[in-house]
Structure 1
Amino acid sequence: MPTTFTLPNIRTEAAALWKLAWPVLVGQLATVGMAVADVAMTGHASADELAAVSLGASIWSIILVTVSGTMMAINSVVAHEVGAGAFGTIPHSVRQALWKALGVGVIAALLANLATLLFNHLYLAPEINARASLFVHIISLGLPPFAAYRALYGYSTSINQTKPVMVIALLGLAFNVVVNWLLIFGRFGLPKLGGIGCAVATAGCMWLMLGAMVFWIRQAPAYRQTYPFTHWEWPHWPEIRSMLKLGLPIGVTYFAEVSAFGAVSLLVARFGVVVVSAHQIALNFASLVFMVPLSFGIGLITRVGQAMGEGNPARARFASWVGVSMSLIFALLSAIFIAVFRHQIAAAYTSDPAVQALCVQLLLFAALFQLSDATQVATSCAIRGYKVTRQPMQIQLLAFWVFALPLGYVLGLAPQWLRDLHLAPAAPMAADGFWIGLVLGLTIAAVLLTWSLHRLSLRRLQA
């Protein structure tokens, strides 16, 4: 087990992390690929349909990522149990995580539907608001199965079984693209639903992925030692409360970042369909690229958690910094790629010249924040491997809701009362101003989380 920073040890740890992360990466890319397919395919239907899906997706993505983060507690719990050799307690933990998933999924669906009331206060045509609301009403039916899938996903990755995640996500992507094509454009006599077809496809995909994961766990020999479906078990509230105590701060952490991006999507709506569409395309592609450091982060939870479970804080610290370094190397490459190929990226999403032109401009901001975005996700996941979740939550809330959004509001909207005080630009910067705020927020989060990981890993090592 490598613990010192020599080149052979770094190579060994990097190989171990990559072995865990690459199937997760393919699975994450396939999952986000569903959202990419929704936006790209709707963008070729019409600008109005794309605007409606963009608004609906701003709510859906916030709720979806918050649910994913809240369910991530099972990753740390099972990783520590694996490290400690406590395989007999893992089935109980998984069963309780599934009960937790049921409650989280139902509450999330209700909140998503209530959030559509925000659309009535935007500056878009009523028919676009109505289409966006219907999109959310339909797609929210996929939230309960998604929560349960993420519980089984975390269990699987934490016992080093990551390939099922990849295969099932690819299956879901194929299903999503085919059903999108059938329903968006009305192929083979099916109704032409436009953006609503995306909602139907994605909700159905969530149920398909849950069923496929249950089937895989029932059939694969790798799960026999920790098989969770041996018998029925009622909710054990102390266990569920413990997981909520660990998972809710992660959910709030994810919410702080994604809601900041989602709030920007809602605030730029007043500037019209072109701005909304360009912003959503740039954000969608940045989210796709973000899956690589996120996959390293998910692998880090397992590597760090297992090291701490076996009582080896030196290995946990070593694994943390190797993972963060790998994320940074990728971020540098992705920043160069986005900056060089931004015109081609915009053209792949939409054929509207006005949307393309603005999207190219926003993709430069996306390239700029790659390093800080990769750093903050890798460091926060490493910290969660130590079963510490509140401090990352506090840092994310500070970075995005105290710095990023207020600055974006000042620069993007430039309200008259701030202009009178000479605290805002003479004219609103629209989407550009909000993206400047997001770059600042990600940078602050990256710096503070790096310092937090350094201090936490050092304290555990000294103890």
Structure 2
Amino acid sequence: MFADARKIAGLAWPVLIGQLAIIAFGVIDTAMVGRYSAVDLAALGLGSSIYISVYIGLTGILTALQPITAQLYGAGRDTEIGEEVRQSLWLALALNVIGFLILFFPEPILHLARVPDALHERTLAYLRILAFGLPAGLIFRIYSSITNAVGQPRLVMILQVGALLLKFPLNTWFIFGGWGVPALGGPGCALASTAINWGLATVGMVLLTRVDVFRPFAIFAHFCWPVWRRQAAQLRLGIPMGLSYLIEVTSYTFMALFIARFGTTTLAGHQIAGNIGAVLYMTPLSIGIAASTLVAQALGAGRPEAARTLSRHGIVMAVSIACCYGAIMLVLRPYIIKGYTPDAQVMTAAMPLVLIVICYHLFDALQITTAFVLRAYKVAVVPTVIYAVALWGVGLGGGYLLGFDVGGVIPEWLTGARGFWVANTASLAIAGVGLLIYWRVVSERYLRADATQAVDPAV
């Protein structure tokens, strides 16, 4: 196990640093906007929830490139990788049209949330600015997918850390104003993120033409139109992957939309708890990406037993670290919350939610690592069904029943934002166990197929 753990850690730590750099965008936004005004902080929480749902859903489709590339790389089929990347760029162009329209015209979503007038205009401005950065985000996701697939996550990490170094000064300038720029508040951090995303996308595309590891793929050696056979293969895997991402994120997004009905203070406390959960999430996400790369490469090379072992060790590693994080959070949560906001009411609202986050994160680690391992096997449809039943059914449905005390019999401590967080935690537990059971079925199927081929190579 220790040998596999070292392999996974060797790929996971650059992914983790890069992901923490990106999630630090949200931490910096939350902390800085929280010091600008409580209204802007609430608008940021609502707007970022909507944006993340759109962004994750669309980039989830493009993430299909990673297991496809990793298996081709493990099999030594380099020239096919370049063709798959070109097809992903065409997909990104089509997906951008959908995402831009949703972000630039979000009024139906805001109406569904019954957003107060004080939040409406700030949230609308925030989303419209981010709409212009969406194309760059999709392009950079293609770059990160192929880079992770060939085991070179440091090439992503360096760019993400560089972006973080630019985030704070740009945020300061656009949020609080200065040098001829008016104070924009929450929308200012969206403007900073949009500028940075375009820089990342541009540099990423240049690196695909200059770095030696990508040269055998000949990605930009020639122009090509969409090839429907390859587009269909990516979409067969990418659409359920995108849906599973969308289900996971929208379960959180709609939770924020419903919690918005409890008022600005409660929504601000929810934003802090959600941000802490997102930071913790980066570790199992990184382990899942690293394990998925190694598993897909092993499958491409025709080694299903090694793929199964790597999968198991990656899952155990993620859950073990999540337990350690939970113990640390239990001790330090008052100090962590205080670092987000000086507002005593917001701190009071956030305190019980962060306690729930400790359990939430444990099951989050289990489900995300197992989901990534399954994607390495090019399996995505059944996991999507599991996500839908657990996260939308138990998480959102149960959260609505608890949060709004629909039956009138829910204890007071389990209503409001706490009810939504408890239900979401239960949904992640169901999803994690369901995905784990299904992974065992899929991996055993691959082992049986390999054994059959070993006995009769003609099969």
Q: Counterpart of 2:122 in structure 1: which amino acid?
A: R
1:32-43 mapped onto 2 (5 Å cutoff): 32-43=23-34
Cα RMSD between the aligned structures?
1.4
Q: Which residue of 1 aligns with 2:192?
A: 201
Counterpart position of 1:268:
259
Higher mean displacement: 121-130 or 446-455: 121-130
Whole-angstrom distance in 2 between the partners of 1:319 and 1:105: 35
- Residues 57-96 of structure 1 show CA distances to partners (whole Å, capped at 9, x for unaligned) of 1101111221231111000110110111111211111111
In structure 2, the residue matched to 1:450 is 436
Unaligned segments of structure 1, at least 5 residues:
1-9
TM-score, normalised relative to structure 1: 0.94
Structure 1 CA distance, aligned partners of 2:333 and 2:179?
35
Q: Does 248-257 or 113-122 show the bigger shift?
A: 113-122
**Residue type of the alignment partner of 1:147:** L
Q: Secondary structure at the match of 1:188?
A: coil
Tell me, in whole angstroms, the C-alpha distance in 1 between the residues paired with 2:312 and 2:354.
29
Which residue pairs with 2:99 in the alignment?
Answer: 108
Deviation at 1:175, TM superposition (A): 2.1
Contact 1:53 1:132 in 2 (8 A): yes
Counterpart of 2:60 (choices 65, 69, 72) is 69
- Matched-pair contact (CA < 8 Å) for 2:137–2:197: yes
- For residues 282 and 107 of structure 2, the distance between their equivalents in structure 1, rounded to whole angstroms, comes to 27
2:221 aligned counterpart, secondary structure? coil
What is the one-letter code of the residue matched to 1:396? Y
Aligned equivalent of 1:6: none
Q: Which ranges of 4 or more aligned residues in structure 1 deviate by more than 6 Å?
A: none
1:21 aligns with 2:7: no
Instruction: Name the count of aligned residue pairs.
Output: 449
Please tell me whether residue 338 in structure 1 is matched to residue 324 in structure 2.
no
Offset at residue 427 of structure 1 (A): 8.8
Whether the 8 Å CA contact 1:49–1:194 is kept in 2: the answer is: yes
Q: Which residue of 2 is the match for residue 319 of structure 1?
A: 310
**Counterpart amino acid of 2:228?**
W
Q: Give the secondary-structure state (helix, strand or coil) at the position aligned to 1:387.
A: coil
Partner of 1:429: 415
Instruction: Report if aligned partners of 2:26, 2:275 keep a CA contact under 8 Å in 1.
Output: yes
Q: Which residue of 2 aligns with 1:460?
A: 446
Post-superposition shift, 1:123? 4.5
**Taking every aligned residue pair, what percent have the same amino acid on both sides?**
33
| Match runs of 1:29-178 below 5 Å | 29-178=20-169
Secondary structure of the residue that 1:332 maps to in structure 2?
helix
Q: TM-score, normalised by structure 2?
A: 0.95
SS where residue 222 of structure 2 aligns? coil
Pick aligned residue for 1:227 from 203, 209, 218: 218
Q: How far is 1:391 from its partner?
A: 1.2
Distance 2:309 2:358 in 1: 29
Query: What is the CA distance between 1:428 and its match in structure 2?
Result: 7.4
Q: Which residue of 1 aligns with 2:456?
A: none
Which amino acid in the other structure matches residue 178 of structure 1? Answer: P
> Structure 1 residues 189 and 64, CA, compared in 2 at 3 Å: closer, same or farther?
same
Distance 1:116 1:25, change over 3 A: farther
* 1:377 matched to 2:368: yes
Partner Cα separation in structure 2 for residue 398 and residue 14 of structure 1: 32
Matched, 1:294 2:285: yes
Q: 2: distance between equivalents of 1:116 and 1:157?
A: 37
Residues of 1 paired with 2:288 and 2:47: CA distance? Answer: 28
Structure 1 residues 48 and 459: alpha-carbon distance in aligned structure 2, compared to 1, 3 A threshold: same
CA separation in 2, counterparts of 1:188 and 1:352? 29
Distance 1:286 1:43 in 2: 18
